[in-house]
Each structure stands twice: as structure tokens, then as C-alpha cells.
């Protein structure tokens, strides 16, 4: 019997990261269940979109990020 794992969409991954903030990079990586390469890709993408910001060694969600997280959670609950 083969177990196939459903792949997460980029929105599901972004939501998982936004839910972890504020946190250190390794905490986000383990909490969102991402590889180091995936984590770096999504962190830079979310920083570029101004959804998170780096304060010291921690990543913190911005106001825009909180709004995005709420919308993504609503969509996830709807589906």
C-alpha cells in the first residue's frame, strides 16, 4: 500500500510561515515543516512583499502580513 503525500500550495506554505512569526529562522523551519532551501526562498519572498520583517535574528509579521494571514485562514476554512 502506497501513501501519497499531498503537496502544499505556496499559499499554504506562506500561511504556515506567517503563523509561526515572531520566531527565529530555525523555529519557523521546524514549525512550518520546511527544508532550509524552501525556508530561505519563502522568507525572502515574504520579506519582498512586506509581509514579514527581520528584527535582529527574529522574523516578525507586519500589519500587512497579519491581514494576509487572516485572509488565507478564511480561504482555508472556506475550502
- pLDDT, tens digit (0-9, with 9 covering 90-100), for 34-79: 999 999 999 999 999 999 999 999 999 999 999 999 999 999 999 8
Q: Which domains does the chain have, with CATH numbers?
A: 10-78 (1.10.10.10)
Reduced to 3 states (helix: H, G, I; strand: E, B; else coil), residue 5 is: coil
Q: 79 has which bridge partners?
A: none
* Confidence band for 6, pLDDT divided at 50, 70 and 90: confident
The whole model's pTM is what?
0.91
- What does the block give as the cell for 21? 512569526
Phi, psi angle pair for 68, to nearest 5°: -65, -45
What the block records as the C-alpha cell of 25 is 529562522
In angstroms, the CA 60 to CA 3 distance is 36
The 10 Å Cβ neighbour count of residue 46 is 22
Amino acid at each position: 500500500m502506497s501513501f501519497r503525500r499531498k503537496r502544499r500550495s505556496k499559499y499554504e506554505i506562506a500561511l504556515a510561515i506567517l503563523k509561526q512569526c515572531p520566531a527565529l529562522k530555525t523555529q519557523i523551519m521546524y514549525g512550518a515543516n520546511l527544508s532550509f532551501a524552501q525556508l530561505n526562498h519563502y522568507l525572502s519572498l515574504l520579506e519582498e512583499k512586506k509581509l514579514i520583517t527581520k528584527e535582529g535574528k527574529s522574523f516578525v509579521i507586519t500589519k500587512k502580513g497579519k491581514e494576509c494571514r487572516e485572509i488565507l485562514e478564511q480561504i482555508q476554512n472556506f475550502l
